[in-house]
Amino acid sequence: MRKPIIAGNWKMFKTRDEALFFILKAAESVPNIKEVDTVICAQAPLMRCLIKRQGENLRIGAQNLHWADEGAYTGEISGPMLKSYNVAYVIIGHSERRAMCFETDEIVNKKIHAALRNDLLPIVCLGEHLEERLNGTTNAVLFDQLTKDFANLTAEDMKKIVIAYEPIWAIGTGKTATAEVADETCGYIRTVIGQLFGSTTAEAIRIQYGGSVNPKNIDDLMSKPNIDGALIGGASLDPDQFAYMTNAARKRVSK
Ligand code: PGA
């Protein structure tokens, strides 16, 4: 059984005090790391205060890193910097960064290599636009992203990677993919991973769904065989809602 992974993506929300309030509250009620991997992905200035709370039930992640380990890249953050704070995870290729910061699949690939080089566990986001879903090209789009994003990686590397399937039309819109559609698409991603890296890797890799996940739809999503967790934006900002969703993931383990 793959261990579920619930990750909160705080985006550009929360000041230091808000982050501290959240983490103290959530730490009381999220499951032990043996049952569910619970990750808070925060902005770099919050790392210092959050990392102290990394422990039995919470891991801290970043929302981005640069592909170079150092260099003249004003405003960027590197793998070694995150590593020096003991950050565990890093989101790579979020659709907001692909759209607003012009991150291509080639850049995403370079960032995955940088994360692995620095012992950071990548949460790699991919997904289709609404037009692509409507014109039936979702699988082709995902195939293209998977082959380019995971180029020159080994099956061993893939064991450390979490994939977040995030249909772009479902992010921050309140429009969740139905659990059936999300499961079918995560299943397709698993099939492609099998073609590229072998069936053992496909069976082991964890695939999250992301896009308007909330306490109302988490149980349905987590009941599906191909969905191993969730990447949660808006609904991860409230500690009670977030803790509820991590516990929903725990129920899946005990099935
Ligand atoms: P959302 O965001 O849950 O607010 O739709 C998900 C994400 O951006 O990862």
- The model's pLDDT over 113-158, given as tens digits with 9 standing for 90+, comes to 999 999 999 999 999 999 999 999 999 999 999 999 999 999 999 9
Q: 129 an active-site residue?
A: no
Return d(Cα 44, Cα 158) in angstroms, integer.
Answer: 25
Q: What is the DSSP string of 76-108?
A: ---HHHHHHTT--EEEES-HHHHHHS---HHHH
Return d(Cα 67, Cα 69) in angstroms, integer.
Answer: 7
- Is 90 exceeded by the pLDDT of residue 175? no
Q: Mean pLDDT, to the nearest integer, of 87-96?
A: 98
Residue nearest to atom 7 of ligand 1 (CA): 233
CB-CB contact of 60 with 42 (8 Å): yes
Helices and strands counted in the chain (H then E):
12, 8
In degrees, to the nearest 5, what angle opens at C-alpha 88 toward C-alphas 159 and 39?
95
Q: Give me the sign of the Cα torsion angle 227, 229, 233, 234.
A: positive
- Is 80 exceeded by the pLDDT of residue 105? yes
Q: 184 an active-site residue?
A: no
Pocket of ligand 1 (CB under 6 A): 9, 166, 171-172, 210-213, 231-235
Give the up-direction half-sphere exposure of residue 237: CA atoms within 13 A in the CB hemisphere. 12
Looking at 35, 66, 94, 103, which residue is catalytic?
94
Average per-residue pLDDT for the chain: 96
Return d(Cα 105, Cα 30) in angstroms, integer.
Answer: 34
